Structure 1
Amino acid sequence: MAKPRAPKSRPPAKTPQGLPDKETLLAYIREHGESDRADLARAFGLKGAERRALREMLRELEGQGGLSRRGRKGFAEPGALPEVGVVDVVERDPDGDLLVRLTKGEDAPLVVLAPSRKAEAGQAPGLGDRLLVRFERLEGGEYEARLIKRLGQSAHRLLGVIRKARREIRVEPVDRRSKDTLVLDPSEAAELKDGDLVLAQMSGPAARYGPHRGKLLEVVGREDEPRAASLIAIHAHGIPTGFSPAAEAEAEAAEPPTLKGREDLREVPFITIDPADARDHDDAVYAEPDTDEKNPGGWIAWVAIADVAAYVRPGSALDREARDKGNSVYFPDRVEPMLPERLSNGLCSLREGENRACLAVRMVFGKDGRKRSHRFVRGLMRSAAKLSYEQAQAAIEGQTDGKTMGLLDPILKPLWEAYDCLKTGRDARSPLAIESLERKIHIDEMGRIASIIPRSSLEAHRLIEEFMIQANVCAAETLEQKKIPLIYRVHDEPSFEKLQALVDFLATLEIPWSKGEAPRTERFNKLLGETRGTPHAEIVNEVVLRTQMQAHYSSENIGHYGLNLAKYAHFTSPIRRYADLIVHRALITALKLGDDGLTERDVATMKETAELITMAERRAMAAERDATDRYIAAFLADRVGAEFDGKITGVTRFGLFVRLAETGADGLVPVSSLGGEYFVHDDRTHALVGERTGARWPLGMAVRVRLREATPLTGGLLFEMLSEPAPADRSMPAPRLGMRARGDRRPGPGGKGPGGAHRPGKPGRPKNIRNGRKRGGPRK
């Protein structure tokens, strides 16, 4: 097969460096489409004060109508559409065609949704559906949208629980953010029982008052089932489940690997180190000292990865469904896998003592931890042992068992010595050292929560992580060198706005950070190191984490800020991530390791695939988080009235979010329950501040709360504050005015201060406020 190349395109003109004038800035955005401030600052090489000037210029252009918003951060020419975008189906024209509109971009035009091609056809979209589409410009300048994929459930569909009353049958939403309730026709809901979980759809025009009429679509389970939390999350987020008969048949037809076309690696004593309950093992490691006299003190590190590309061929049913799923989704009680069990837990799992196809990389490191060379091999391996993280760690610490005793000297000790070498290089690179406190939920055989405990962080975890990072770097470097298109894992540096928010918050803790200081990873690590072991350690870690951008997949490389790497791609988990499978195919093509590498379609749709799998990853994260919240709420439901220690981890104008020390559960303390005065949200210092006394509820404050409500169906927790607020701090800057004052900037009584925002033209106290007490505060 000829080596596929990226589609030809005219190289963009070199962008001039320095702060552009308005015409140059508009021309750049017109040529490149939707851009955010970070994109523009990077393109023009702007730093510090120039970035602030760019922000002001964008605001001016937006105010003059020269630019339009695209979401929170993006800008585009008014009416412009991106190549690929997320849309809502909002109307049907007189000819019956569906009209869609970008979800981000109020000025975006209505666009006709073109009929799906047969290969893409599935359940037809309808009004209220959210879709991923490709925009194509037609002759005459108009656009049409081509369906790529449906995203989650329709906006007019509702996952809810049946509540039967004497006169009506209602569907109450399981999403605590939703206020929609549907009423079903008694004739079609006669067989339903109170507590049934159902999928329903709004039918007919929306009611002006009261709940909407609904139509029953599907009964998906019961709210009192022990495993209902995962079931709700799967349906609420539209997680694809199961596999088609064609995909299952392809998986069942797969055969064990042979040596044909492979290098024999079965004498290399690879081992797998995974969580104790892991069923799929897609990576194995081995290390030994380098005997080359030119590399004294150096190490050879091997990473072998399951050769999923040998079984999931481009264009197959397995491939189409893996791309649609994007990744495996992990819940406390189950896994929704990207590949059928025959592959994910069978032929693609590097089982102990069984021959397995692999794509391995042999890396050579110097004594200083820097990689000197690497080589990829398509091989046949046999895992020498399957260990858990805890087993491997215990053995290194001198507590061997019957299995690890014979592995300690020949395999485990060299692995740890090689890791010490790699760690030297890692420390020199200084990736972000944010500590993530995770909780592990243990489910018993009945599907109930047995315990919630902190997830251990062992050196064994860090060893495997560093080996995988180095293998991922090798994959990206090889593909760039061979000029083969690939999907990168990218991570941008923090935005100017997020950095400003961090600086403002650190000032409240009297921690210095110069506003003009570059956001280098070393600087963040210095901050984390200085606060480690102090009362502020946990909240500073949390705020630094929130300052970071989200990593995502892209066909264009901007580097990985968090890891401080110029080239990075996901290669090490093809059983559970589609991105890794694409990288495997690219390596097979680049190194001529077989005829099952990248296809021309893979190359042509690389950007689209990166968008899809990024959205699939976001969808999986949201579903996993929602399921965890519901399980924790169920675990705490019988402890309503109990008191807990926690910390304020979120401050909003409607209340405080508190995280419990015992379980890591998050819940809300409504602002209306905080006492007898009106509290203003000061977004600069991340605190609620009493208007009358100046008493403060700041981010990071340790508090004691009482659990008032736990709702397993929605995952909601409601707390009552037992602690007293911190006293007024006169050294703090005056709080920024809350929502009440921002709506009306006219002088108040005597010309001093703003008037009441809720009663334009009438100075004084806002409506519903009397004697410093707010009445009718927000209800859950």
Structure 2
Amino acid sequence: MPKAPTDKNANKNKGKRAQLPTPEQVAEWIRENPAQSGKREIARAFGLKGQNKIALKAVLKELEASGVVNKRGKRFAEPGQLPPTTVLDVVERDREGGLIARPIQWDVEVDGPAPAVSIVNHRNSKAPTAGIGDRVLAKISGNPTLGFRGRVIKRLERNVGAVLGVFRAFKEPEGGIVGRIEPTDRKVNEMLVYEQNTGGAENGDLVEVSVVGRNTQGLKQAKIDKVIGDLASEKAVSLIALHQHNIPTEFPEAAIKEADAAGDADMNKRADWRDLPLITIDPADAKDHDDAIYAIADDEPTNEGGFIVTVAIADVSYYVRPGTALDREALTRGNSVYFPDRVVPMLPERISNDLCSLKEDVDRPAMAVRMTFAQDGRKLRHTFHRIMMKSHARLAYQEAQAAIDGDPAPRAEPWLEPVLRPLWAAYEVLKRGRDYRKPLELDLPERKIVLTEDGQVDRVIVPPRLDAHKLVEEFMIQANVAAAETLEKRKQALIYRVHEQPSMSKIESLRDFLRTLSIPLAKGDQVKAETFNGILSGVEGTPHSELVSTVVLRSQSQAVYSPNNQGHFGLNLKKYAHFTSPIRRYADLIVHRALVSTLNLGAGGITLADEERLEQIAEMISDTERRAMMAERQTIDRLIAHHLQNKIGAQFSARINGVTRAGLFVTLDDTGADGFVPISKLGDEYFIYDEVTHRVQGDVTGGIYQMGDRVEVELVEAAPVAGSLRFDMITEPREGDGLPRSKRSRSGSPSGRPQRQRRSNRFGGRK
């Protein structure tokens, strides 16, 4: 029986009549020589010719059929094996902070989840280093059993899809080159466009392009794939934000393939709740429906006046399993991103808008929590269930509210007595518990941009805050609390939604500010959410109301995700996790998986690997949440800047929402747009900045501009692509109010010539 030849003596078999190797020998050769695993290389290694080469084909088919090797293109490989040199995406860090990458080409159906590759960065080596988000060519060592390690050979230019830019046509084309692409991302170099690659674009068009090569000077050549059109359109503006923040818009082929292959859920370990009249209440334009609710009076004699509330949430964990392409892409995105006329979903539409959307009169798998509340709003108990449900009605907030208020609501009226009235009665009970809990009560109206059909800003509105909104919100909060309590009680690792108490430095700054208004603030750890509520209610209706509300808001910490429970200060809750939106938030998917595992509810539970990297996952999704918020805000800024660019010289009512040494930030009343007034535009006198009282004060007249003040401003400049506005101040400063100037005010102000002569360089800055 011939011994499997090594790479060094493979050529010795040339010219000799060799015996056909056994399947075991062929498998050993493939395992030890992954770089030379094609049929031709294997035949050459064993010295096979003629009929033996045909017989080798049968051996390879036998090995493939038995699962000993897998065929990838023209090569064969051990299952789970990586080629010695491959392209990787660096996606995360392990518990020790080391970089983890995964191959960009991997067949999940054949080889299972893509393997993790530990990236080796040598500090003293000339080899390039890598970071999260990089695409690299790497030398691979190791195996599926012991794990893989990758040494970076070179960083690659990552093809994240189309490049966005503005087409600048040349007046005089030369050598077939008719223009260039000016990318919206400053990190991307300009590209040349040849006549055959213009795609019908005209000078100044916003376009999507792909790189098709380089010219003789090494400059990249671009092909215009899509003309976006008018920069003022919402579609173009949102694309700028997506590219700027590297938010993926296209799903990998493997993820789409998994989503398309998904089918209806089975009844394994599911309770049949299809007869329970659960309903969805969502925005009128919602495309996915991930939560349904129902309530009924508790008939237990010991709980008179109490209610049983049921919240059912789409069972995303059944479809998106750990380690799959869908799961990796969902983690990369972290959450869905919402623009005025575009949604970039966390999951493909087959999952988010179809299989996991709780559509009316359609069977859908769900995770449900049934909660029993006492008459005073205390939660007595709760249980979780994996169910099959059917939404009995799809209502908009306005429809549900209209039915309750006795206004015409044809779609909602049939459900008024059997479902809606019990829901509102249960909400009255839950409100008692909320009032006892005393969460932070900040009135933060949310503006909504209404667009025309061609993507232009039509108007900006503040939708009314209905009881229907508050009802659904409170039901979701209670479901989130129940999830955190269940998992913590069972000592199951999870990701909490954490909102820490304001830092001591912010509390001290707030205390200094409130002291100027003769408002006391408790010392040290005594500060609670209800403390702020008392301050806000105390200034309600006074000239300082908006100022105090703004300063209190800015003293709060940023909510984040964490595997360590630190409570939720704003909601005044000791345990809180996100459970109610797994279609659009990865944190909720992790909580669902944790519940499936700890309650033994079937397939799709959390894995040990995920449990071990919860801290890293929490950090990643906290980052993607901030990224989404920034992209959404910047898109709105750009839209409104486009909307106002033809109104230079117009005057607007505004409120000062920020004060700095360089000038004032203002928010327009009608659109909510933010802009900047340089301090040089406030007057001829010298204005002194007071950090504690959030104001500037003239050193001659004593006139004051302070955060929260109502003012009139004139628009003098709009930069639509940057989304920035600059104003001149029209309103004269108000008279000094006799409040003490803080000790820090003079030390923070510049000295020398009058402030009028100091031109600000902060145009377009944001608070």
Using the size of structure 1 for normalisation, the TM-score is 0.73
AA aligned opposite 1:316: T
Deviation at 1:419, TM superposition (A): 0.6
Map of 1:261-340 to 2, 5 A cutoff? Answer: 261-340=269-348
Map of 1:708-719 to 2, 5 A cutoff? Answer: 708-719=716-727
- The residue aligned with 1:672 is 680
Q: Deviations over 1:560-582 (max 9, x none)?
A: 11111111111100110111111
Q: Deviations over 1:92-142 (max 9, x none)?
A: 97843235799xxxxxxxxx9997999999999859x9xxxxxxxxxxxxx
- The residue aligned with 2:204 is 195
Task: Answer yes or no: is the 8 Å Cα contact 1:392–1:404 preserved in 2.
Answer: yes
Task: Answer yes or no: is the 8 Å Cα contact 1:200–1:215 preserved in 2.
Answer: no
- Answer yes or no: is 1:96 the counterpart of 2:126: yes
Q: Deviations over 1:423-445 (max 9, x none)?
A: 11111111111111111111222
Residues of 2 paired with 1:563 and 1:618: CA distance? 20
Residues of 1 paired with 2:251 and 2:183: CA distance? 28
Residues 1:185 and 1:573: Cα distance change in structure 2 (over 3 Å): closer
Q: Deviations over 1:54-109 (max 9, x none)?
A: xxxxxxxxxxxxxxxxxxxxxxxxxxx9954999x9x997843235799xxxxxxx
Deviation at 1:498, TM superposition (A): 1.1
AA aligned opposite 2:230: D
AA aligned opposite 1:365: F
- The residue aligned with 2:565 is 557
- The residue aligned with 1:260 is 268
Residues of 1 paired with 2:222 and 2:562: CA distance? 37
Map of 1:556-705 to 2, 5 A cutoff? Answer: 556-705=564-713
Deviation at 1:775, TM superposition (A): 4.1
Residues 1:485 and 1:378: Cα distance change in structure 2 (over 3 Å): same
Residues of 1 paired with 2:501 and 2:320: CA distance? 35
Residues of 2 paired with 1:187 and 1:529: CA distance? 65
Aligned with residue 230 of structure 2, among 217, 224, 234: 224
- The residue aligned with 2:40 is none
Task: Answer yes or no: is the 8 Å Cα contact 2:663–2:676 preserved in 1.
Answer: yes
Q: Deviations over 1:241-275 (max 9, x none)?
A: 12112211211122123433210101110000000
- The residue aligned with 1:460 is 468
- Answer yes or no: is 1:449 the counterpart of 2:457: yes
Using the size of structure 2 for normalisation, the TM-score is 0.75
Deviation at 1:596, TM superposition (A): 1.9
Q: CA RMSD in A?
A: 3.7
Indicate the larger mover: 661-670 or 534-543. 534-543
- The residue aligned with 2:761 is 778
Deviation at 1:602, TM superposition (A): 1.4
Deviation at 1:296, TM superposition (A): 1.3
Specify the SS of the correspondent of 1:98: coil
AA aligned opposite 1:597: G
Specify the SS of the correspondent of 1:732: coil
Aligned residues: 627
Residues of 2 paired with 1:489 and 1:214: CA distance? 48
Aligned with residue 489 of structure 1, among 477, 482, 497: 497
Query: Which runs of 5 or more residues in structure 2 are unaligned?
Result: 1-93, 101-118, 142-146, 174-178, 211-217
Residues of 1 paired with 2:99 and 2:691: CA distance? 30
Q: Deviations over 1:198-228 (max 9, x none)?
A: 7999xxxxxxxxxxx9967786755624211
AA aligned opposite 1:236: Q
- The residue aligned with 1:428 is 436
Specify the SS of the correspondent of 2:611: helix
Task: Answer yes or no: is the 8 Å Cα contact 1:195–1:222 preserved in 2.
Answer: no
Residues of 2 paired with 1:467 and 1:269: CA distance? 16
Deviation at 1:509, TM superposition (A): 3.7
Indicate the larger mover: 697-706 or 222-231. 222-231
Deviation at 1:422, TM superposition (A): 0.8
- The residue aligned with 1:408 is 416
- The residue aligned with 2:36 is none
Deviation at 1:679, TM superposition (A): 2.2
Residues of 1 paired with 2:140 and 2:536: CA distance? 51
Residues 1:708 and 1:84: Cα distance change in structure 2 (over 3 Å): farther
AA aligned opposite 1:774: Q
Residues of 2 paired with 1:285 and 1:427: CA distance? 22
Report the structure number with the largest CA radius of gyration. 2
Fraction of identical pairs, as percent:
49
Residues 1:167 and 1:362: Cα distance change in structure 2 (over 3 Å): same
Task: Answer yes or no: is the 8 Å Cα contact 1:170–1:182 preserved in 2.
Answer: no
Residues 1:735 and 1:186: Cα distance change in structure 2 (over 3 Å): farther
Deviation at 1:517, TM superposition (A): 7.2
Query: Which runs of 5 or more residues in structure 1 are unaligned?
Result: 1-80, 103-111, 130-149, 202-212, 743-755, 757-764
- The residue aligned with 2:515 is 507
Q: Deviations over 1:168-200 (max 9, x none)?
A: 98877858xx8x997667989995854344799
Deviation at 1:644, TM superposition (A): 1.0
Task: Answer yes or no: is the 8 Å Cα contact 2:358–2:364 preserved in 1.
Answer: yes
Task: Answer yes or no: is the 8 Å Cα contact 2:127–2:152 preserved in 1.
Answer: no
Map of 1:129-278 to 2, 5 A cutoff? Answer: 161=166, 194-197=203-206, 222=228, 224-225=230-231, 226=233, 227-278=235-286
